[in-house]
Structure formats: structure tokens, C-alpha cells
Amino acid sequence: MNTKKRDRVYFWMIFPAFAGFTVLYLLPTAMSFLYSLTNWSVYNAQLRFVGLRNFQKIFTDVKTVAALVHSIKYAILITICQNVLAVLLAVLLNRKSRAANFVKSVTFLPAVLSIMVVGYLFQYIMTSADGGLLNRIIEWFGGKPVNWLGDADIALYSVLITQVWQWTGWSMVIYIANLKSIDASLYEAADMDGAGSVQKFFRITLPLLYPAISFNILMSLIGGMKMFDAVFVMTKGGPGYATETIMTTVIREGFSSGRNAYACAFSVVFFIVVFLFSQTLTYVFNRWEEAIRA
């Protein structure tokens, strides 16, 4: 088969996926950019250009800015907590034993549950009602009950804990897969040089976990920025606006209130923030990779 013919075959093979990507992602994204400069509302048939007014409103509305801050804070915290715990668990459980396999399975189990199910479950576990399981345990140990989901200062962290619980096992499995690919002779050489466990972890394991770390961190960060379902189920963005995120605000403004153009503008801001985050991380990871190779 000559090159041109082969390229044509490849083109038609990727065409369905590319067409889907264009229609379902590229086009709506471009339309969101355009609509963000208009007064588009589900309740208003007259579309007109309003320039950057929607963007101006976003940065002068304290509720919307708070949602942006919550999303960034949540994304950074979940990325750190989830990945630190997952790396530690992966290193501890990367061995052949029935007990290790059992713990791995148990740790991974929450990841197969729906976020909605986990959210409803924890809503009952963390409730401030008399039957709240978590508070009962705290009281049994002599502590005072905590208003996990109703206290504006801690509600976001309560949601975060549930998501760390759910997704740490998923990250751990990726780290374990990466650990399996590290050559055992490196550890043997380190042993012969008299390196301790901590030195081996920081000098061999962590640098060679680079592929899994870069993937997991990027996924956690983007997933954290997109947080919607757990917040929606557990706190509905409340109390007040204490757990509102970018996505809950976009849904509320765009669909409930009918301020579609405003929601589009906020989606554009979201796109830019995620783009900047991912570009910065990619740059940092590339530099790290170069340092490891050097």
C-alpha cells in the first residue's frame, strides 16, 4: 500500500471520532465563546452583542468569584491529598501477598461506585441529625458533634474528604502499575551502595514514578476544577454559597436562572483557568523529565 493510500485509510478511520469531537466539543466550545459576548438568555429571544459586559460582571460578583476560588482551592487540595495518599499506599502495597491484594481491592472499591451514590451515603453519614453516624462515633469517644455539611467553614472540606476516599484507590492502581515497571536492579544497586528506604524512595521510586505522577496530577486537578456532582448531592452549594463551585454556578446561572450568556462567560473563564493550569503543569513535568534523564 503506498503512503497516500495508507494516509487516506487512516483518515477515514479517525474521521468518525474527529467528527464527533468537532460536533460535540469544538463547536459548542466555540459557540460558548461567541455567546459569552451576547445577552443570550433562554427567556429572551432577542440576541444582541454586549461586548465584555458578562466578564466584567463575573469579576464584580462576589458570589461568582467565591465559586472560582472554591474550585481552585478544592482542585489543589484534592490533587495533593489524593496523590500523596495514593503514592504511599502504592509503595506499601506493591508486594505479592494475599493481604496486600485484599487491601488493594478494598481501597479501589469506592472508585466503582457512582459519585451520586457516595454523595447520598455521606450526606447521611455526615448529617447533623441525631442519627448521623460520624457524629455518633465522635460522641462515643467523648467528642462534640460537628456540623460537617452545615458549617460554612468546613463544608467544602467535608465534600473533599469523601472524594479523596473515593478516588485515592483509583490513583493508587495507576501508581502500582508504574511501580511494576521500575527495574529491580536499581534497588539492588542502591542496597549495595548502602541506601536506606527513604533515600531509595526519593532517589529511585519517586523520580521513576514520573509518568504516573504527571498523569494522576493532571487528572485530579482537572477533575477537581470540574467538581459538580458531589457538591450538588451533599450541600447544593450551601450553606449559602460556601461550597459553590464553577460548575454549580454555571448550571445555576445558565439553566435555572436563564442567564445563559453569563454562564457561557464563566465557562470561558473556566476554560482559561484549566488551560493555564494544565500548561503550567506540563511545562513543570517536562522540566522534571529532562532533569531525570540528565
Partner 1 sequence: MRKKAISFVICAAMAAGCLPGTQVYAQDGQEVVKLRMMAYNAESARATYLQYLADKLPGIEIEFEFVSTDNFDNVLNSQLQAGEGPDIIEVGGQTKLLARAGYLMDLSDQEFIGKYSDSGLQAYTVGEGVYAEPLQSWFEGIFYNKKMFEENGISVPKTWDEFIEIHKTLEEKGIKAQTMGAQSYEPMMKQSIGLVNNLFYSDSANMAFDEKFNEGEGKLEEAWLPAVQEWYKIIEAGCLNAEMLGLSYDQALDEFATEKAAMWECGPWAVETILEKNPDIDLGMFPIPGTDGEKPGWLVGGPGSAWAINAKSEHMEEALQVLEVTSTEEAQQALAKDNAGSSFVKGVEIDLGDIYADCEEAFKEGNVYAPWTAVWTNGNAVTESYGKSLQEVLSGSKDVQQALADADMTNADLLEALE
Residue 56 binding partner 1, by CB under 8 A: no
CB of 8 or CB of 136, closer to partner 1: 136
Residue 266 binding partner 1, by CB under 8 A: no
- Residue of the chain from 152, 190, 273, 281 that contacts partner 1 (CB under 8 A): 152
Single-letter code of the amino acid located at 17: A
Cell of 172: 493508587
Instruction: Please state, in angstroms and rounded to a whole number, the distance separating the CA atoms of residues 47 and 289.
Output: 49
Residue 259 binding partner 1, by CB under 8 A: yes
Residue 149 binding partner 1, by CB under 8 A: yes
* Number of Cα atoms under 13 Å in the Cβ half of residue 5: 2
CB of 37 or CB of 90, closer to partner 1: 37
Instruction: Please state, in angstroms and rounded to a whole number, the distance separating the CA atoms of residues 257 and 244.
Output: 15
Q: Which of 258, 252, 251, 164 is nearest to 216 (CA)?
A: 164
Minimum distance from residue 222 beta carbon to partner 1 (Å): 23
Helix axis angle, 115-125 relative to 155-180, nearest 10°? 130
Residue 42 binding partner 1, by CB under 8 A: yes
Residue 278 binding partner 1, by CB under 8 A: no
CB of 176 or CB of 261, closer to partner 1: 261
Q: Which of 27, 64, 34 is nearest to 50 (CA)?
A: 34
Residue 144 binding partner 1, by CB under 8 A: no
**Contact window for partner 1 (CB under 8 A) among 95-103, 147-155, 191-199, 208-216:** 147-155
Beta carbons within 10 angstroms of residue 70's beta carbon: 23
Cell of 163: 472524594
Cell of 288: 522534571
Residue 148 binding partner 1, by CB under 8 A: yes
Residue 252 binding partner 1, by CB under 8 A: yes
Residue span 65-104 as binding mask against partner 1, x where in contact by CB under 8 A, dash where not: ----------------------------------------
Interface positions, 108-127, toward partner 1 (CB under 8 A)? 123-124, 126-127
Q: How deeply is 43 buried, as exposed, middle or buried, from its count of CB atoms within 10 A (0-12, 13-18, 19+)? A: exposed
Cα-Cα end-to-end distance for the chain: 41
CB of 46 or CB of 97, closer to partner 1: 46
Residue 41 binding partner 1, by CB under 8 A: yes
Cell of 29: 466550545
Cell of 281: 503543569
Residue 236 binding partner 1, by CB under 8 A: yes
CB of 3 or CB of 60, closer to partner 1: 60
Minimum distance from residue 126 beta carbon to partner 1 (Å): 8
Paired with 44 in beta bridges are 41
**How does 4-15 read in b/e, with b if 16+ C-beta sit within 10 Å?**
eeeeeeeeeeee
Minimum distance from residue 224 beta carbon to partner 1 (Å): 22
Residue 239 binding partner 1, by CB under 8 A: yes
Interface residue list for partner 1 (CB under 8 A): 39, 41-45, 57, 123-124, 126-131, 147-152, 235-242, 251-252, 255-259, 261-262
